[in-house]
A and B are shown apart, each in its own frame.
Chain A
Amino acid sequence: MRFVDEYRGGEDAGRLLNAIRGVVTRPWVIMEICGGQTHTLIKAGIDRMLPEEITLVHGPGCPVCVTPMRLIDQAIAIARRPDVIFTSFGDMLRVPGSSADLLKVKSEGGDVRIVYSPLDAVKIAEANPGKQVVFFAVGFETTAPANAMAVWRAERAGVENFSVLCSHVLVPPAMEAILGAPDHRVQGFLAAGHVCTVMGYWEYEPLAERHRIPVIVTGFEPLDLIQGTYMAVAALEEGRHGVENQYSRSVTRDGNTAAQQLMAEVFEVTDREWRGIGIIPDSGYVLREKFVAFDASQRFDVADIEASESEECIAGLIMQGIEKPSSCPAFGTRCTPEKPLGAPMVSTEGACAAYYQYGRN
């Protein structure tokens, strides 16, 4: 398959791995930001093929994982209402709230539907004028344009029975928070190629400069990740810092400016709570005043719902690269995909799910 097979070839992988072995002289800790990258690394077995000097730690780029439990509980409260059709990306349905998940709400009679595009949720709203249709708008800068487009379209078309429960998060403030933690050990980043496809990479340049750290914009195929790792190791060994672009087939410095304009029209930046990590300043999006009528958390009066996390789950430490899933005492015993303590065990982008599914215990 074009644009896939070229980036999964065994021979090229071998060459790049040899190149890494050729440059590495001492231990380095590198964090891949995105959960999709984590899964590729583990699924293709790259973590086991790299020289032992290189430790990969797994970043917070799993939208399902960082969505606060309070918001999951709000989603559940809304989805339980008989007048609501609750729509979501499939990934969110298994994420544990305080006492249930959305799949359980569905089994109890809630009208919970998986959609692949938020625009489909708008269509469902148009087709069901007697119902309130809510879309669970989570994700990073990657999903934000489509979610912005859904709200923008609903506003233009006067689809008043549509709203979004919004929990958008942004990557650069999270990287800043990781590097600001006193016990952080990250020496280089593989930045999330899809986020950069939308946002470009200019906003990482000051961060790389300030922390004197290499940031390699990296794709999601096995060869992308091996090459990104090579670029990070080469930069570290040579004492270079700054932003480099491995994913040049998709990413430009400026990104997708049309998407950025739409996002800026619909959303404004706000402080945001990250599950397991806490509040990170200016790290999320909220609907602008003009679109606030489409905010489900206000429409359904769920803003007061509070929730507390499992005390045993160390997801926050894992997503900051301080711990690994396999070093969690609950991993695979008290925390499994069937009975998760935290979201990373059930999300298809969660680091714990990757370790569990592909046998890294």
Chain B
Amino acid sequence: MADDERPDLDAGMVCPIPISDYPTVQLAHGGGGRLSQMLIDDMFVAAFDNPTLAQLHDGAILGIKADRLAFSTDSYVVHPLFFPGGDIGSLAIHGTVNDVAMCGARPIAISAGFIIEEGLPMADLWRIVQSMRNAANQAGVPVVTGDTKVVDRGKGDGIYINTTGIGVIDRGIEISPQRARPGDLVLLSGAIAVHGITIMSVREGLEFETRLESDSAALHTLTAAVLERGGHDVHVLRDPTRGGVASALNEIAGQAGVGIKIDEEPIPIDEEVRGACEILGFDPLYVANEGKCIAIVARESADELLQTMRGHPLGARAAIVGEVVEEHPGKVFLRSRIGGLRVVDMLSGEQLPRIC
């Protein structure tokens, strides 16, 4: 995202908590008393301003007409809290919007639970909340209910956020990993490994100079476009976050009892990301994404759906990267650039930077 496109976080709002009185979050801000009330009213309710939240019930009351709902929760513990291209707040919205979207649903509401470590600078909290507000507004998904807890200093990592999302699944849409079947093609919406490498580039001990920004983005309009065009021919949707494309495909292969064969050549990847992976000894197939989507679709619709993806701003570099096969059920194979074939297995833990 270019600087001039970046939403102005401070537009029209200043931190409502008097920072001179409370430069940092205090235990009492989560204690249920007056300070808690001030934080909720002045910061959260003011920022996420919407009629459902304004009722300030114990929970949100939603009027939904639908046969099927998608319901997904995720917790965000990223370190550092602020990184190029986003922060824990925008990530907490995008991630859960995407999880709901990958069920084939239109996200309609989201909840937010904050676990804040005593001593977090109030200005940081405000920045995170504003970023969440902007992400939710841009996605058109309101934050309708929430919760705040404050834990003792040293018992958290600044702030943890849990978000839960609800979405409506339209008739005719049926997304599940079990629907991947031999002959289907695997579409990938864009360049891989950007988020993971961006986070790595700002971690202590591994800092390296880069212009990379996280790809964190809400993908529900992209999936909506694909579903609108492809309908029942869209079999599986998945956002390859932690564990990357390799782990997501392994999960699908295992759940569907099929093999998946991918080609290294067409997998989109940025030069800088590749360079960083080469240096660190990482396989980009296992590195996290936060704004990319895998779609497994019927072969006959694949070209059309590829064009649909490419017509969306978040899918401009989409590519067909592989196919579902009968052989080797539960396994993922990759054909390397030089033509060799290898298994792409699940990793047993995190990738660790190599020695040399």
Contact = CB atoms under 8 A, between A and B. Distances in A.
Contacts of B339: 10, 13-14, 45, 49
Nearest to A45: B340
A139 B356 contact: yes
A70 interface: no
Given A114-B205, A359-B345, A143 B338 contact: no
B353 A222 contact: no
A348 B352 contact: yes
A138 B349 CA distance: 22
A89 B353 contact: yes
Contact of A44 (B271, B280, B338, B347): B338
Nearest to B271: A1
Interface residues of A, number: 49
Interface string A39-56: 000111110110000000
B13 interface: no
Contacts of A42: 342
A87 B205 contact: yes
Contacts of A93: 352
A143 B342 contact: no
B355 A45 contact: no
A338 B337 CA distance: 30
Interface residues of B, number: 28
A8 B281 contact: no
Interface string A147-189: 0000000000000000000000000000000000000000000
Interface string A332-361: 000011100000000011000000111100
Contact of B338 (A46, A114, A115, A336): A46
B57 interface: no
B179 interface: no
B21 interface: no
A152 B338 CA distance: 43
B355 A63 contact: yes
Contacts of B336: 8, 43-45, 222
B275 interface: yes
A137 B206 CA distance: 17
A201 interface: no
B342 A114 contact: no
B353 A116 contact: yes
Nearest to B278: A4
B217 to A, nearest CB: 25
Given A43-B336, A358-B343, A4 B348 contact: no
Contacts of A114: 205-206, 352-353
A157 B331 CA distance: 54
B354 interface: yes
A356 B331 CA distance: 13
A63 B338 contact: no
A254 interface: no
B348 A222 contact: no
B343 A142 contact: no
Nearest to B338: A13
B341 interface: yes
B4 interface: no
Contact of B356 (A14, A36, A336): A36
A18 B336 CA distance: 18
Contact of B274 (A1, A36, A103, A348): A1
A116 B338 contact: no
A224 to B, nearest CB: 11
A94 interface: yes
Given A64-B355, A120-B205, A337 B349 contact: yes
A194 B278 CA distance: 14
Contacts of B204: 113
Interface majority SS on B: helix, strand, loop or mixed?
loop
Contacts of B348: 336-338
A359 B246 CA distance: 14
A142 B356 contact: yes
A43 B336 CA distance: 8
Contacts of B274: 1, 4
A348 B354 contact: yes
Nearest to A89: B355
B280 A222 contact: no
A10 B205 contact: no
Interface centre among A4, A45, A63, A89 (most CB of B within 10 A): A45
A116 B345 contact: no
B117 to A, nearest CB: 18
Contacts of B205: 87, 113-116, 120, 124
B349 A94 contact: yes
Interface string A62-99: 01100000000000000000000001011111100000
A140 interface: yes
Contacts of B355: 63-64, 89, 91-92, 138-139, 143, 349
A143 B356 contact: yes
Contacts of A87: 205
A48 B206 CA distance: 35
Interface string B222-233: 000000000000
Given A13-B338, A223-B338, A349 B354 contact: yes
A251 to B, nearest CB: 15
A358 to B, nearest CB: 4
A49 B340 contact: yes
Nearest to B349: A94
Contacts of B280: 116
A86 to B, nearest CB: 12
Contacts of A120: 205
Contacts of B340: 44-46, 48-49, 222
16 contacts: A1-B278, A8-B338, A13-B339, A44-B338, A45-B341, A49-B340, A89-B355, A91-B281, A113-B204, A114-B352, A116-B206, A120-B205, A124-B205, A140-B356, A222-B340, A357-B345
Interface of A: 1, 4, 8-10, 13-14, 36, 42-46, 48-49, 63-64, 87, 89-94, 103, 113-116, 120, 124, 138-140, 142-143, 194, 222-223, 226, 336-338, 348-349, 356-359
Interface of B: 204-206, 271, 274-275, 278, 280-281, 331, 336-343, 345, 347-349, 351-356
Given A91-B352, A226-B338, 5 more contacts: A1-B271, A43-B336, A45-B338, A45-B339, A49-B339
Closest 9 CB pairs of A and B: A45-B340, A359-B343, A90-B352, A337-B348, A13-B338, A90-B353, A115-B205, A358-B342, A142-B356
